[in-house]
Amino acid sequence: MDKGLFDLSGKVALITGGNGGIGLGFAMGIARQGGDVCIWGRNENKNRQAVEQLQPFGTRVHAINCDVVDEAVVERAFADTLAEFGRVDACFANAGVGGGGRFDELTLAQWRQVMSVNLDGLFLTLRAAARHMKARAETGDIGGRLIGTSSIGAKLGMVGGEAYAGSKGAVLSIMKGLAVEYARYGVTANSVLPGHIETAMTAETYKGEKFRNAIMPRIAARRWGTPADFEGIAAYLMSDASCYHTGDSFVIDGGFII
């Protein structure tokens, strides 16, 4: 069946941290539009469950156990992805961790833990994808999509979350640089900035009355976001419809910033 403007049939997406939360939302949107999906995650059980959730859409789905902070593991996982699917048309560098606490009490180890996943992991993942897309383009197979998951914290800052917000601010600059550097190969690069999204990781925090009363009145949509709210943007960014849209930052926050 023709899936219209955002038909992803024959395309392959790689999604780090794709076994839950926003990453699984990306995967759902892509699979619904006929795209094949390769998930990278560290939790074997969550990987398996994610594959089971995506299989009913009838596209090829595969999961690989991968720790994105390990260069050798990332290179091997990317090679395994190509062995399984033959190509990667879109790479969603989505794996990330939070990190909070008083700035003057933050240890260097805590700081580096956040940076290692949110920046080193993004770098290693996108580098592998960019090399692949460039090599394909040089043989005449032009095109590709690089997407980095940032946060509204990149624009607003975060009290007690300077490491996290700082890492996500860097994502914006990295993706803009990639947008220019790889445009000659038909590759676009964009950032997605989630707002307050209810996932397994945030559910307990969002249940707190004090937190809810402080944040919810500032969300124009008057609800927490969900992983499903990221299905559409994933389909759009991976589709041919977005081929001239690059270097942008997509804020998906229900109107919180404004």
From first to last of its 258 residues, the chain has per-residue pLDDT tens of 456 899 999 999 999 999 999 999 999 999 999 999 999 999 999 999 999 999 999 999 999 999 999 999 999 999 999 999 999 999 999 999 988 789 999 999 999 999 999 999 999 999 999 999 999 999 999 999 999 999 999 999 999 999 999 999 999 999 999 999 999 999 999 999 999 999 887 878 888 899 999 999 999 999 999 999 999 999 999 999 999 999 999 999 999 999
Q: What is the CATH number of domain 4-195+222-252?
A: 3.40.50.720
pLDDT digits (tens, 9 = 90+) for 122-157: 999 999 999 999 999 999 999 999 999 999 999 999
The pTM assigned to this predicted structure is 0.95
pLDDT digits (tens, 9 = 90+) for 42-66: 999 999 999 999 999 999 999 999 9
Please state the domain extents for the chain. Answer: 4-195+222-252
Output the 3-class SS for 146-203. EEEECCCHHHHCCCCCHHHHHHHHHHHHHHHHHHHHCHHHCEEEEEEEECCECCCCCH
Question: Which residues, at least 6 apart from 208, have a Cβ–Cβ distance to it below 8 Å?
Answer: none
